[in-house]
Structure 1
Amino acid sequence: MSALTRLTVTETKLFLREPIVVFFAVTFAPLLLTILGLVPSMREPVAELGGLRMIDVYLPIIVAMGIALFALSGLSQLFASYREKGVLRRLRTTPVQPVVMIGAQLLMATVFSVLTMLVMLAIGRLAFDVSLPGQVAAYLLTYLLVALALFAIGLLVAAVAPTARSAGAIGSLVFFPLMFFAGLWLPRATMNDILRTISDVTPLGAGVQALQDATAGHWPQPLHLIVLLGWTVVAGGLAARWFRWE
């Protein structure tokens, strides 16, 4: 086994020992989707949404939320905690380079987030008759870009937060505006032009619209893919610039 594989397995075991983090990073989004789907009004067609049901609109939003929760609740706090406890400093004295730790965490986060996404798609289809993505390749590409953008933001939060507690606080401050522009409280289709324009340049606003387009069987708009790539490059670059190992 390579160092990356061994470290990924070890980090996964440590992650699963934190029930609160596991709940919010992995379980909360599927649970929220199930609760929303059980509300009768969520399963009724809405004229303002082109005849779609609210549950149809909300599935991509909750999928994006699952990534955001893992990035801003799990990933950022974990790295800040490791720095605070001196784990990263001690790791630098071993043959395993700290960058391998980052790779292991990102690999673990990707696997868990993909599994969570598949669970939510299964719940939506089997329990609430939500259509599966009509353009699978576009959906997977968009999901990957959303994950990269959010993980980069999570690492940026970890880079600037001095402690795990402050990482959680900063992550929450970032999470709620992102979810607003993703359409959690006000679906993008009902936003006015100003809000929708702002939403288009946020990682979750662009990501949700791209996921919705792929679900409808269309390729996402180039603008939304460019926005996701831009957030990945900018947030990832700043995280690399400001990240401290001790």
Structure 2
Amino acid sequence: MTAIACSGLRIELRDRVLLDNIDFAVRRGELIGIVGANGAGKSTLFKALIGLLAPTAGQITLAGQALRTFAPERRARLLAYLAQGHVAHWPLSVRETVALGRLPHGPGDRNTAAIDDALEAADLSHLAGRNVLSLSGGERARTMLARALAVGPAVLLADEPLAALDPAHQLRIMALLRAQAGAGMAVGVVLHDLPLAARFCTRLVLLHEGRMLATGTPAEVLSDTMLTQAFGICAARFQLEGSELPLPWQLTPQAPQRRSTM
């Protein structure tokens, strides 16, 4: 069942085309990785899907209904978004910060189990009483992810959730996102780590200069041809536990110039 989708999506900002002709969908039970070079349009796509950027053309649907028709409160209960940067400004405890994820359900919400589950899933139960501003960058990143999980959404969109995380917690977060998808959530994640994308994601979307260059299984999308065209790189490849993992190895002789980040 498709949870969130767009068709023919076009985004323009100040006469500049940021995305063009994007057809994208995430079904419940899927972990979809969005990959591409800096400036390819990955974050722009997520901002459009959550309603922060209005389409110039095309349509976005959530649970089969046009996104523009949703009341903000209902949309916030169905769709959780983890933005880049994992910013926290207030001296709240970790638990209080995670509890903010329940706000879309109303000020009287008492679903403490959802908060407890989110803390445990993000390996934060032992830090629940800590001031969030005292945390390391990786701990703060996990706190923001737990806040998104506490919503109990049908769709989770996470923009670079692995930034600032050490390798162990990168693996934990990817395993957590895969488990959430396995439990029926629709999960989309922006990634730069190609081996982790190949290992954990059920499907990938490769963006290049605001357009979809490829979509399909990790093996299909991360082919030598696609990596050369999208990133200007060659990859070393190795097989492990049934997965082919591409390791960025060197630039191609004529690596393309990159546009500024969107």
TM-score by length of 1: 0.25
More helix by percentage:
1
More strand by percentage:
2
TM-score by length of 2: 0.24
